């Protein structure tokens, strides 16, 4: 179903449905610009396109140029609170023209998951905001407010700061009664303009705590990134054949790309910093690494070498020693970071490497 230009460049072309995803041991090269190697960019929003409600530097111009070149853009978010129409309007105000059809939310993914398991028109106790309610109704499901209305399913999605505690009580009672339990996503936290706030995963934990006394404690079926239902929803809605996942989080965006067996680009404009990238587990390692969305229009350099000779990228050479990473050379700091990724990922599991000095030299 999906094709991986990066895997092909690395000599490991993927079959239509490979048994296992290809896990990179270094950032991979792409001789052409990413906008020509892929047909659709599946872009995360917060930390990639905008931050605190405002556009990330270079995002507006880069996305406009990528679209003009023929790359299709789709915006994939775990936030179930807002409708696609609201998200598209926000993007358009920022200077990134978008249609509702180009926005895929975890609310849509979980609504499809529920609709596949209950009859059309079934009652669903929804604990969340408008985005979740609209997605359920679009699937022909009937939204109800309480556990006493005999729902066929209960679903939680991020409800925003105005969500009432009573909604969680209704969800907990329904789950205690054996009603199938769903969640749009389980992100414990979300970024806000004032700091880190509790996410939908925190609300899911409240219901879990309230039901853990049961003989068999229930677990929700989760749709959002990094799990397959979200990637499936993105592919079904976009029709992408050569998608590239673009994100700023290792445990949602990048892991989700691995779960979907497609390539990924990590941009350093969001929550993941350079030290976290170097320490990434195999399923959290992106195909490509870049500073920001300008990389969609650029080729990706090759990281050469091995553990013995060191890992080079353009003017940089990185080695993994007994207990630390070392770096020599000069040039673009992101190229130095790519070389460090090769060295750190090759040594992963052998020791905990000290990365502070090497990263300080790059300004990270």
Same domain as 172, residue 242: no
Q: Does residue 357 fall inside a structural domain? A: yes
259 vs 190: which has the higher pLDDT: 259
pLDDT bucket at 339, cuts 50 / 70 / 90: very high
> Which of residues 257, 277, 297 is at a domain's end?
297
Q: Does residue 215 fall inside a structural domain? A: yes
Beta bridge partners of 76: 104
pLDDT of residue 353: 76
Average pLDDT over residues 70-98: 97
Same domain as 212, residue 319: no
Same domain as 189, residue 115: yes
Residue 340 has pLDDT above 70, yes or no: yes
pLDDT of residue 190: 83
- Give tens-digit pLDDT for 153-200: 999 999 988 899 999 999 999 999 999 999 999 999 887 767 788 999
Alpha helices, DSSP H only, in 69-117?
84-94, 106-115
- For β-strands 263-267 and 288-290, DSSP reports them as parallel
Q: Does residue 90 fall inside a structural domain? A: no
pLDDT of residue 57: 96
Q: Does residue 56 fall inside a structural domain? A: yes
- Give tens-digit pLDDT for 17-57: 434 555 779 999 999 999 999 999 999 999 999 988 899 99
Instruction: State yes or no: is 273 an active-site residue.
Output: no
DSSP annotation of 281:
-
pLDDT of residue 19: 43
Q: What is the mean pLDDT of the chain?
A: 92
User: Which of 46, 187, 253, 292 is flagged as catalytic?
Assistant: 46
pLDDT of residue 197: 86
Question: For the chain, what is the domain count?
Answer: 3
> Which of residues 207, 222, 237 is at a domain's end?
222
pLDDT of residue 20: 52
pLDDT of residue 77: 96
15 vs 333: which has the higher pLDDT: 333
- Give tens-digit pLDDT for 97-123: 999 999 999 999 999 999 999 999 999
C-alpha pair distances (Å), 213 with each of 31, 171, 180: 56, 15, 17
Same domain as 51, residue 17: yes
Same domain as 16, residue 40: yes
129 vs 5: which has the higher pLDDT: 129
User: Which of 31, 39, 44, 306 is flagged as catalytic?
Assistant: 44
Same domain as 71, residue 149: no
Q: Does residue 87 fall inside a structural domain? A: no
CATH number at residue 65: 3.40.50.1000
- Quickly count: other Cβ atoms within 10 Å of residue 307's Cβ: 14
DSSP annotation of 307:
T
Instruction: State yes or no: is 44 an active-site residue.
Output: yes
Q: Does residue 89 fall inside a structural domain? A: no
Q: Does residue 92 fall inside a structural domain? A: no
DSSP annotation of 124:
E
pLDDT of residue 18: 39
Judge contact between 149 and 102, C-beta under 8 A: no
Same domain as 276, residue 196: no
Domain containing 265 equals 5-78+226-297
Same domain as 116, residue 34: no
Same domain as 115, residue 194: yes
In this predicted structure, which of 15-19, 259-263, 302-306 has the lowest mean pLDDT? 15-19
What is the spatial order of strands in the sheet that 72-77 belongs to?
103-105, 72-77, 40-43, 243-247, 263-267, 288-290
In this predicted structure, which of 6-15, 77-86, 202-211, 276-285 has the lowest mean pLDDT? 6-15
Same domain as 159, residue 211: yes
pLDDT of residue 8: 55
Query: Of 278, 276, 279, which Cα lies nearest the Cα of 249?
Result: 276
- Give tens-digit pLDDT for 242-255: 999 999 999 999 99
pLDDT of residue 5: 66
Q: Does residue 54 fall inside a structural domain? A: yes
Same domain as 24, residue 116: no
- Residues ≥6 apart with Cβ < 8 Å to 164: none
Residue 15 has pLDDT above 70, yes or no: no
Same domain as 215, residue 231: no
As given in the structure block, the two tokens for residue 364 are 């990270």
> Which of residues 222, 248, 271 is at a domain's end?
222
């Amino acid at each position: 179903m999906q094709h991986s230009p990066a895997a092909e460049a690395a000599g490991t072309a993927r079959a239509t449905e490979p048994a296992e995803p290809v896990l990179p041991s270094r950032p991979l090269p792409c001789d052409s610009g990413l906008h020509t190697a892929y047909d659709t960019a599946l872009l995360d929003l917060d930390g990639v396109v905008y931050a605190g409600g405002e556009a990330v530097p270079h995002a507006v111009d880069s996305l406009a140029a990528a679209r003009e070149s023929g790359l299709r853009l789709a915006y994939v978010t775990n936030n179930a609170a807002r409708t696609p129409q609201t998200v598209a309007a926000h993007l358009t105000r920022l200077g990134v023209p978008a249609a509702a059809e180009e926005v895929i939310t975890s609310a849509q993914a979980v609504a499809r998951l529920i609709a596949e398991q209950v009859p059309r028109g079934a009652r669903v106790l929804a604990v969340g905001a408008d985005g979740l309610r609209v997605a359920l109704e679009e699937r022909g499901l009937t939204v109800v407010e309480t556990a006493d209305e005999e729902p066929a399913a209960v679903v939680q999605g991020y409800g925003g700061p105005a969500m009432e505690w009573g909604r969680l009580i209704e969800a907990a009672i329904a789950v205690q009664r054996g009603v199938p339990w769903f969640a749009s996503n389980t992100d414990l936290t979300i970024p806000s303009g004032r700091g880190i706030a509790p996410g939908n995963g925190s609300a899911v934990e409240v219901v879990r705590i309230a039901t853990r006394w049961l003989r068999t404690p229930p677990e929700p079926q989760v749709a959002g990134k990094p799990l397959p239902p979200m990637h499936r929803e993105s592919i079904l809605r976009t029709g992408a054949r050569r998608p590239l996942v673009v994100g700023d989080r290792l445990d949602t965006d990048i892991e989700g790309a691995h779960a979907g067996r497609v390539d990924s680009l990590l941009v350093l404009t969001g929550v993941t910093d350079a030290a976290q990238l170097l320490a990434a587990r195999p399923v959290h390692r992106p195909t490509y690494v870049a500073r920001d969305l300008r990389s969609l229009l650029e080729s990706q350099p090759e990281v050469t070498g091995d553990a013995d000779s060191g890992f080079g990228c353009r003017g940089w050479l990185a080695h993994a020693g007994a207990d630390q990473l070392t770096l020599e050379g000069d040039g673009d700091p992101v190229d130095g970071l790519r070389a460090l990724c090769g060295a750190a990922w090759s040594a992963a599991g052998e020791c905990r490497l000290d990365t502070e000095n090497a990263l300080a030299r790059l300004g990270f």
